[in-house]
Amino acid sequence: MRERDIIANYFVPLASAEPGAFALRDDAAVLDIPNGQQLVLTTDSVIEGVHVLPHASPQQFVQKLIRRNLSDLAAMGATPWRYLLNLCAPRETADGWFAAFAQTLKAEQQQFGMVLAGGDTTLGGTHVHLTLTALGLTDGPALTRRGARAGDTIFVSGTIGDAALGLTMLQDDADANGPWVERYHRPQPRLALGKALRGNATSAMDCSDGLWLDLQRLCDASGVGARVELEKVPISDATRQLLDAAPDADSRSALWHMLVTGGDDYELIFTAPAAQAQALQEMARFTGTPITAIGQITEELHLRYCDARGEHAFSMQSGWEY
């Protein structure tokens, strides 16, 4: 199949709800930003062998691509709106691959309320290389990483470290499955929570490269430090069982290190005055997203965590830097 057949067969139907996409048949899209809205723009690539495993399924490509970008919109408190897709796939890619890719894309754009507005398609090269540009809208000030203040409570949504464990399992066995692997393949962008945090959190970002590294970035942007209680970092029941089964303190400690530096969590890290903790918990419950207080923002720029062994500096060596 040639580029234009792929576009006509698979991508044009995904653009039908946006007249300004001109059925993907013009040089550019022309979009009317709804009155009173700001545009929130993010772009991330998903490259075979880097962000997904070699020979990932079309479903895995699409879900990682869409949700990785939407997690960035969630972190700004924006609502997904439109997207552009750049697809490069080897010339020998089967038609069925594109069909499955587009089918998943359709399900994802319906779930998240987005419409395809443009992109480009190239056949060539030896692996799949995707870029998605997500356009979101916000009708008030977006969340940023910049407002954390000393004394603020640090929260994270969901659980941390499952996806990193999933990736380890997949590296051992490409056919591994189960909840950890599912977390790696299929992030859950925290869009409802992000929207609810606008005007309530002092800072927010998405946690994609490991809790330690991303919290460091949030602190850098806000000009503050942090102190985290490791035992409060929320982990799934399955991960808890794994920790409990660890033979000694050293291996438990190594596992914790992996959980907080492994990445691919796509949870939100955010801060708010301690007095608002209760209200935030209510709000989070309303959006169906568990949140957990894990520590405090400090005036000293150091980033430290404490566990049963005492207080330690963050170790970032294993944080991912995409």
Q: Which residues bind a second copy (CB under 8 A)?
A: 2-4, 22, 25-33, 38-45, 47, 49-50, 71-73, 75-76, 78, 84, 86, 88, 117-120, 122, 124-125, 127, 129, 131, 133-136, 138, 142, 144-146, 205-206, 217, 220-221, 321-322
Cβ 319 to a second copy shortest distance, Å: 10
By beta-carbon proximity to a second copy, the closer residue of 39 and 245 is 39
User: Residue 15 Cβ, how far from a second copy at the closest point, in Å?
Assistant: 12
The least distance separating a second copy from the CB of residue 267, rounded to whole angstroms, comes to 13
Side-chain half-sphere CA neighbours of 288 within 13 A: 5
If the CB atoms of residues 51 and 180 are measured against a second copy, the closer one turns out to be 51
Q: What is the DSSP string of 228-276?
A: EEGGGS---HHHHHHHHT-SSHHHHHHHHHHHHHS----EEEEEE-GGG
The nearer residue to a second copy, 86 or 298, going by C-beta atoms, is 86
Q: What does the alpha-carbon distance between residue 127 and residue 298 come to, in Å, rounded to a whole number?
A: 45
For residues 178 and 223, which CB has a smaller minimum distance to a second copy in the complex? 223
CB of 309 to a second copy, least distance (A): 30
Shortest Cβ distance from residue 20 to a second copy (Å)?
Answer: 8
Question: In the bound complex, what is the minimum distance in angstroms from residue 243's beta carbon to a second copy?
Answer: 30
Residue among 34 and 310 whose Cβ is closer to a second copy: 34
Integer Cα distance of 205 and 74 in angstroms: 8
Nearer to a second copy, 46 or 291 (CB): 46
d(CA 28, CA 91): 25
- Burial class from Cβ neighbours inside 10 Å (0-12, 13-18, 19+) for residue 210 reads buried
Give the whole-angstrom CA distance, residue 140 versus residue 151: 26
Q: Closest Cα to residue 189, out of 291, 75, 40, 285?
A: 75
Secondary structure of residue 124 in the 3-state scheme = coil
Contact 313, 216 (CB under 8 A): no
